[in-house]
Structure 1
């Protein structure tokens, strides 16, 4: 594929992924009644992109159990952190690592220290029948593009870079790497076949929407830093209902939530 065509293809899918992310941010929006004012006030959950599918089930079950509705905003953990620092009206931050929630707590923007709700896992995923995902296949001439999340803002991108460095492939494959702003955009590159192979979260390939699409292989966990995924309740002056946000925070550590997270491939503490 020539350079101009490659750039044009990736631009098209960047626009598609951005549009899709916007829909995800606006979707899953329901409204709860504030008992005193009668106005609609869902709790707003800033959610790392690797959690987009699991969060649909988590919030659905939470709303069913409590009657409290949720609005889910999906992006990379780094971008969500920047938005929170700028005053974005989020009530809970469900991150893909503990670094960003820790930053918020140290800045006085989180009510309590970070708590780990799950441990993520990294996989290689491809939509091409003739490609068998593996570390060895990364160097194949059949692979022109390798998708991964931007390590500057996405923890799963950091893990992917660690894998490449472990196998001493960083320099060799540099020209093949295509960066998504989040796991969501990285998935678009893989699903659309703009990239022959890509690094993504196990939670994505195990989701009901993606199960059976393409083929994937889990990467050895010992070759990248454990992906500790943390959550905090955001400290805001004009929080709608901190008690409701706290209920969702506590729900994430319930037996019910742990079962949902495990079904998406996450490991959880007992």
Structure 2
């Protein structure tokens, strides 16, 4: 019986060898396939399993033992929290800076900038939940600094993640605050700058420093460390730039 059990354990370890589980902030969903494809050019036997979602929710899940090896957050706050709790095997590092944009499926007068959302014809504004999504936090900060938050807050339609905010902006709302990276997806090519979208003035919100960290579960996982190193490499930076991010 003991030999059978040991055999099963060996079989399971063989099946899952070379697989790393990555928790990825929703705004990176548009770039992640290109990143994995480039990573696999030099790590052909590594399978990267991706779960997309809100960074705050991932943090809670990791604190409760979720089986992730690497965490790509939409900000640095959540990886730093995990570091302070002793849950990380590598230092949290900025891999890119995200930008905020406003999007509508309708053609609107975007020359008004962020104040456009206070117009009477804008009834619903899609925004990622600022409690769990850093891009939602940035949107609230931008509106506050533009002195229109109190005027428009009742129009908010909250999304669970920034990718859901994109969907809401095109369907359930008149306009939405989104990650600029989403506009570089091929499916979004129909939406034109100045007519359907505009970048939010970066002076209105704190730069969105997005952070990556290897978690304790993958302390001795060479492939997880290789992926972490790749995300900080020049090749990865080229991909992030292609999708509208800023890199250092």
> What TM-score results when the alignment is normalised by the length of structure 2?
0.89
Unaligned stretches of 5+ residues in structure 1: 1-33
Q: Deviations over 1:184-207 (max 9, x none)?
A: 211110122x11101011100112
Asked whether 1:209 is paired with 2:190, we answer no
Higher relative helix content? 2
CA-CA distance at 1:64 after TM superposition: 3.0
Q: Deviations over 1:47-84 (max 9, x none)?
A: 00111111121112212331111011001000000011
Q: Hey, what's the Cα distance between the residues in 1 that align with 2:38 and 2:188?
A: 20
Q: Give the alignment of 1:137-176 within 5 angstroms.
A: 137-176=116-155
Asked whether 1:129 is paired with 2:107, we answer yes
Q: Hey, what's the Cα distance between the residues in 1 that align with 2:91 and 2:13?
A: 32
1:89 partner SS: coil
Asked whether 1:223 is paired with 2:204, we answer yes
Asked whether 1:107 is paired with 2:85, we answer yes
Unaligned stretches of 5+ residues in structure 2: 1-9
Q: Deviations over 1:91-122 (max 9, x none)?
A: 10000000000011111111122100001100
Matching residue within 100, 114, 119 for 2:97: 119
Question: In the superposition, relative to structure 1, how do residues 128 and 108 fare at CA in structure 2: closer, same or farther (>3 Å)?
Answer: same
Q: Name the structure 2 match of 1:45.
A: 22
Which one scores higher on RCO, CA 8 angstroms, separation ≥ 6? 2
CA-CA distance at 1:209 after TM superposition: 2.9
Aligned pair count reads: 233
Q: Hey, what's the Cα distance between the residues in 1 that align with 2:11 and 2:200?
A: 48
CA-CA distance at 1:140 after TM superposition: 1.3
> What TM-score results when the alignment is normalised by the length of structure 1?
0.82
Q: Name the structure 2 match of 1:57.
A: 34
Q: Hey, what's the Cα distance between the residues in 2 that align with 1:35 and 1:222?
A: 55
Q: Name the structure 1 match of 2:241.
A: 262
Question: In the superposition, relative to structure 1, how do residues 65 and 36 fare at CA in structure 2: closer, same or farther (>3 Å)?
Answer: farther
Q: Hey, what's the Cα distance between the residues in 1 that align with 2:11 and 2:93?
A: 30
Q: Deviations over 1:200-229 (max 9, x none)?
A: 111001122323336211111121011010
Is the 2:115–2:148 contact (alpha carbons within 8 Å) kept by the matching residues of 1? no
2:68 partner SS: coil
Runs of 4+ in 1 over 4 A off after TM superposition: 34-37
Is the 2:115–2:146 contact (alpha carbons within 8 Å) kept by the matching residues of 1? no
